[in-house]
Structure 1
Amino acid sequence: MKNLKQSIAALGICCAALLSTNSAFAQNADGFVDLIDGVSLEGWNIVGTASWTIGNGLIVGNKPSGFLVSNKTYTNFIIKAEFWAESNTNSGIFIRCQDPNKPSQYTCYEINIWDTRPEQAYATGAIVDLAKVNPVPKAGGRWNVMEIVANGSHFKVVLNGEVTVADGQDSKYASGPIAIQSAGGVVKFRKLQIKPL
C-alpha cells in the first residue's frame, strides 16, 4: 500500500512537471499565457471550412471561411498577438463570443484584420460596429503586433505601438471564448497571448 501511494505521488509530480512545461498554457514571467504553441491546435476547436496549417511556430489560415475558437471563456484581459496578413486578407480576432459554434461580428466583438475593408473606418485595428480606426493603418505584407484590452465595458486596441481605437464602450457581452478568423487571403499568427485583468 505504501508503494502504491508513493507511485501515485510520483505520477502526480511528473504530470505537474509536464503541464508546467506545456508552452500553450504556461504562464510567462510577465503574467501572459501563450494560447498557441505553433505545433498543435490544443485548446482550440475548428469551426467552419477554413484550411488551417500548423508548424514552424505558426498557425496559418489560407482559405475561407472559418474560425479557431478557444475552449476557454475569458472576461477581462489583455491580448497580445503577432500576425502577418496580405493586404487583401480578411481576418480578425473575435472576443467574448456568445456562441462558440457560430462566431460573428453579431455575436462577438470583432477586432478586424482587413486593410481593404470597403468601410475603411472599420478596417484593421477597428472593433467592428463599435470603435473606428483613426488614422486607418495598413498592416498588409508585414508582421504586426496588436494589443487588445477588454476591461468591463472599456476596449482599446493598439497596433504596432499606435492606439488605433482610443476608447470603445459597450456592455453587451461580458465574457466568452476567443476566436481567430480566416475569411479570405493568407493570415499567419506566430504569437497569441492573454493576461487576465
Structure 2
Amino acid sequence: MNKTSIGKLLALFVCCLTLAACSTKNDFKPLFADDLSNADYDQAVWSMQDGILTANADQAIWTKDQYENFVLELEFKTDVNTNSGVVIYCPDKKDWIPTSIEIQIADDHHPQWKELAENLRCGAIFGHKGANEQLVVKEPGDWNQMTVTAKGQQIDVELNGKKIVSANLADWTSGTKNPDGTDIPAWLPKPYCEIQPKGYIGFQGKHGESGIWFRNIKIKQL
C-alpha cells in the first residue's frame, strides 16, 4: 500500500470518528422548547427567559410525553433553603407524589437540611436512598450539573461530576422500610419495585420564599 492510499485511509478514519462523535452529541435534545409549547404547566407560575426556567409558586412543570430508558442532563441553581426536585417515571401528574421517583434538590448548606436524614438531602432518591457523598451541591447562587440515568429499574445520579446514587428499584420490596432498614416516609407507601419504569418527567417549583432555577435541560433516549 503506497503513502497516498494510507493517507486516504487515515483521512477516512478521522472523518468516521468525527461523525460518530457528532452523532453521539446530537443524540441529546432539549426536554422543553424555548416557548414551553411541549410542556404541561401553569403559565402564571413557570417562565423561561434567556434559557433559564423558574417558578414563583409550588407547582410542578411536566413533559407532555412519557419517557423510559433515558439520560437526563440539566443544570440547577438553588436559593437559600431551596427545596425542589426532579421527578421521573410519573404516571399521574395530579397525584404524582406516591407514584413517582423524585431526585431531591435542596440547599444542603442550610442548617435545616444538615439535620435531616441523608435520603432527604440533595441528589438523593427522596426518602429511599441517600447520596454516598454529602455536600456535593454548591452554595446557593452557583450552578450545579446533574445527570440522571434511568434504564428500567436501575437509577443512577451524578452531581457535579460525582456519581452519588446507584439504585435498583427491584430492591425496594417494602413500602415502609428501605433495604438499609431506614424508614420510608409515610406518604410514599408504594414499594418502588412496583413502580412502572416509564412516565412523565417533572420539575418542582418554588417552596416558600426559596427559589429554584433550571437551564440546559436535555434528554437522550437509550
TM-score range, shorter-chain basis?
Answer: 0.7 to 0.9
Q: Indicate if the aligned counterparts of 1:46 and 1:67 stay in contact, CA closer than 8 A.
A: yes
Greater strand percent: which structure?
Answer: 1
Instruction: Give the Cα–Cα distance (whole angstroms) in 2 for the partners of residues 179 and 28 of structure 1.
Output: 25
- Give, in angstroms, the shift of residue 51 of structure 1: 2.3
Once the 2 structures are TM-superposed, how far is the Cα of residue 28 of structure 1 from its aligned partner?
8.0
Within the candidate set 71, 82, 85, 1:89 is matched to 82
Partner of 1:45: 40
- Equivalent residues, number: 167
- Residue matched to 1:31: 27
Q: Offset of 1:119 from its aligned partner?
A: 2.7
TM normalised by structure 1 equals: 0.76
CA offsets per residue over residues 137-187 of structure 1, 9 Å max, x none?
233321010000111111100000001113343442221000100141111
CA distance in 2, matches of 1:68, 1:40: 13
1:76 corresponds to which letter in structure 2? N
Q: Are 1:99 and 2:92 an aligned pair?
A: yes
In the superposition, relative to structure 1, how do residues 100 and 124 fare at CA in structure 2: closer, same or farther (>3 Å)? same
- What pairs with 1:1-197 in structure 2 (closer than 5 Å)? 29-37=25-33, 39-46=34-41, 51-63=45-57, 65-104=58-97, 106-116=98-108, 117=113, 118-137=116-135, 138-139=137-138, 140-170=140-170, 171=193, 172-184=195-207, 185-197=210-222
SS in 1 for 2:119: helix
Matched-pair contact (CA < 8 Å) for 2:120–2:126: yes
Q: In 2 relative to 1, CA 29–125 (structure 1 residues): closer, same or farther, beyond 3 Å? A: same
Q: Is the 8 A contact 1:81 1:192 kept in 2?
A: yes
The amino acid of 1:146's aligned partner reads M
Alpha-carbon separation, structure 2, partners of 1:182 and 1:194 = 20
Distance of aligned partners of 1:147 and 1:188 in 2 relative to their CA distance in 1, 3 Å threshold? same
Deviation at 1:190? Answer: 1.2
Contact 1:103/1:179 (CA < 8 Å) preserved in 2?
A: no
SS at match of 1:178: strand
Fraction of identical pairs, as percent:
29
AA in 1 matched with 2:40:
N
Q: For residues 41 and 28 of structure 1, do their structure 2 counterparts lie closer, same or farther at Cα, with a shift above 3 Å needed?
A: farther
Native 8 Å contact 2:87 2:201 kept in 1: yes
Mapped contact 1:50–1:183 kept (Cα < 8 A): no
Structure-2 residue corresponding to 1:21: none
Q: What amino acid sits opposite 1:181 in the alignment? A: Q
CA RMSD of aligned residues (A): 2.2
More helix, by proportion: 2
TM-score by length of 2: 0.68
Q: Distance in 2 between matches of 1:157 and 1:79?
A: 10
**Which AA in structure 2 matches 1:62?**
N
Gaps of 5+ in 1: 1-26
